[in-house]
């Protein structure tokens, strides 16, 4: 009798646990955005904005203006100012676990900016040949840098037009020892890249079709089982957009799209959209509680408050 009760109790706990897990994936836009929250346009003085990153020590975002060849900073009280000029056509940025800024650059390099302002190239080749055009990156808990390498810097969005030397537009891992490893060449134009909160999944956008894909992260950090995660909506009269992507603390996925920022739950179900007048390119949480979202979109930047917030860089 006691054994039957024990088994029954275990099953009941398991059922409640499964139901709780299922309920947690059923977020609505009301769970994500405050009531009546709307994007606030901060500035429209740029050419094409990308790669936002919150710097917690400085309490400000930085972001790229790729064709303007500058990095800007935005402080909520001090406003917008130039952070670096020239920028060597930087695109995406991330903070490593030592607080250094790691940047993907359309001059075919990945760089690290140290606290004293020193900039060093940490990757520019794979198999003895130049990278194409590092675009966006994500850094694992182990300190490995995962980055996408499409072709944009070689077709007019970088210092000079050039031929691709790599046979694929890949997703790479830059290890802490400095070695570069090709993880996947399956997507035609890989772009945004982000880890799930547990780092068991990597999400990647593909600008060929504008959709979001994902891989399983193996124990050794390699990527397997590429699959479509979410087919992105396309606003009438616009082309598909597969660009920057970020994940909130609950695991919901936020992807730049033709209508703004499209939001999906962990199962790939479309939750809703942060609507903008133009397509978005990227996004990054910031503020002391990481609940303010900065969005880059064409020649503009926007901010909007959120309820769940993003994962801090440290």
Q: Where are the domains of the chain?
A: 29-305
Question: In the structure encoding, which two tokens stand for residue 95, read together?
Answer: 């903070």
Residue 4 has what pLDDT? 45
pLDDT by residue (tens digit) across 127-152? 999 999 999 999 999 999 999 999 99
Calculate mean pLDDT across residues 20-38.
79
Q: Kindly tell me if the per-residue pLDDT of 182 is higher than 60.
A: yes
Per-residue pLDDT band at 26 (split at 50, 70, 90): confident
SS3 182: strand
Sheet holding 101-105, edge to edge: 90-95, 101-105, 109-113, 119-123
Q: How far is CA 47 from CA 67, 76, 152, 265, 292, in A?
A: 6, 21, 16, 32, 23
List 223's β-bridge partners, or say none: 217
Q: Kindly tell me if the per-residue pLDDT of 8 is higher than 70.
A: no
pTM over 0.95: no
The residue written with tokens 């975002």 in the block is 61
Helix (H) or strand (E) holding 11: helix 2-24
Confirm if 271 and 254 have CB atoms less than 8 A apart: no
> CA torsion 100→144→110→79, rounded to 10°?
-40
CATH homologous superfamily of 29-305: TolB, C-terminal domain (2.120.10.30)
Residue 189 has what pLDDT? 98
48-75 per-residue burial string, b: 16 or more CB within 10 A, e: under 16: bbbbbbbbeeeebbbbbbbbbbbbbbbe
Helix (H) or strand (E) holding 258: none
Residue 313 has what pLDDT? 54
Q: How far, in Å, CA of 122 to CA of 30, rounded?
A: 42
């Amino acid at each position: 009798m006691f054994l039957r009760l024990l088994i029954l109790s275990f099953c009941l706990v398991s059922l409640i646990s499964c139901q709780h897990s299922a309920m947690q994936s059923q977020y609505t836009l009301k769970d994500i955005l405050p009531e009546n929250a709307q994007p606030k346009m901060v500035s429209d003085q740029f050419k094409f904005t990308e790669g936002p990153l919150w710097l917690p020590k400085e309490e400000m975002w930085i972001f790229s203006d790729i064709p303007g060849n500058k990095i800007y900073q935005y402080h909520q009280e001090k406003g917008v100012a130039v952070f670096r000029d020239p920028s060597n056509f930087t695109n995406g940025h991330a903070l490593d676990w030592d607080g250094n800024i790691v940047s993907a650059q359309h001059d075919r390099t990945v760089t690290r900016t140290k606290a004293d302002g020193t900039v060093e190239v940490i990757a520019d080749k794979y198999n003895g040949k130049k990278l194409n055009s590092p675009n966006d990156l994500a850094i694992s808990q182990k300190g490995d840098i995962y980055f996408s390498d499409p072709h944009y810097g070689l077709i007019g969005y970088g210092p000079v037009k050039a031929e691709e030397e790599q046979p694929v537009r890949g997703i790479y891992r830059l290890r802490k020892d400095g070695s570069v490893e090709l993880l996947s060449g399956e997507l035609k134009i890989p772009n945004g890249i982000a880890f799930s909160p547990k780092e068991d999944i990597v999400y990647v956008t593909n600008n060929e079709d504008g959709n979001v894909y994902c891989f399983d992260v193996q124990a050794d950090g390699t990527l397997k089982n590429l699959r479509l995660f979410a087919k992105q909506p396309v606003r009438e009269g616009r082309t598909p957009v597969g660009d920057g992507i970020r994940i909130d603390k609950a695991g919901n996925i936020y992807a730049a799209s033709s209508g703004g920022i499209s939001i999906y739950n962990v199962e790939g179900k479309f939750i809703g959209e942060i609507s903008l007048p133009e397509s978005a390119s990227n996004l990054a949480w910031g503020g002391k509680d990481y609940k303010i979202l900065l969005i880059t979109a064409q020649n503009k930047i926007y901010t909007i408050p959120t309820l769940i917030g993003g994962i801090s860089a440290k």
